[in-house]
Amino acid sequence: MKKIEAYANIEEAMLSLDNGGRFYNLLARANNKVITQAELGKVAGLFNDKQKMMLYLEMVLSNLSAGMKGILLAKLTPELRQSYDKFKPQYLKPSEAKESGVLGNGAIISGIPFLIDSKTKLSGFIMIPIMAGKTMTMMMIPIMDKYDVYEMKDDINGEQFFIAHARSDNKLPQEKITIAGIIKELKADKKEDQPSEKFLEIVYLLG
């Protein structure tokens, strides 16, 4: 999980995004009023993960008006705009995420997180890839072995939706926040035929 700041205005956004890319991106040029994937990847700290790039872009543009955001999106290269249209995240309330969230899609959710600090309260499992020699296989592990898990709610008494980020000492504050991530599957049991539900793997926290 990475904490990021939204741009205050379109001038700040263009100055940051129209950056010329990394030194080996020979076709990118700074300050030419065109934003390439290489330039977006540089400021986002990413290389080829287009879905996470679009999560980042949507979050840092969240303070702009619809009109200003449209002007900036028009500066994307055609290829990057196609990626934006393909991977543009859903905006969801925690109370909407269970029904409307699409597995594998990006989502931006605002709400109040409440840390789950007991495995007895949440015993769900997730699939993770592991290498066995030269072969990659999938293994199911308890979600709380890998993540800090929270119940996120619209408000204190609202319906909850699970969110999670890699375990660390940096816990989310118990106040209204905005996060972006990928909706993934949480299985209730190791058996494949058992029911599952959704959770959001957090990629970005809006500061």
Res. 75 pLDDT band, cuts 50 70 90: very high
The four Cα atoms 66, 68, 71, 75 give a dihedral, to 10 degrees, of -110
Res. 200 pLDDT band, cuts 50 70 90: very high
Average pLDDT over residues 186-192: 70
This prediction's pTM: 0.88
- pLDDT (0 to 100) of residue 177: 97
Angle at 27 between CA 21 and CA 29, to 5 degrees: 55
Domains of the chain: 2-88 (no CATH), 91-206 (2.40.50.140)
Average pLDDT over residues 54-65: 98
Among 67-81, 94-108, 143-157, where is mean pLDDT lowest?
143-157
Give the Cα separation of 23 and 59 in Å (integer): 26
Q: Residue 23 pLDDT more than 90?
A: no
Percent of the chain predicted with pLDDT > 70: 92
Give the Cα separation of 126 and 189 in Å (integer): 9
Percent of the chain predicted with pLDDT > 90: 67
- pLDDT (0 to 100) of residue 188: 75
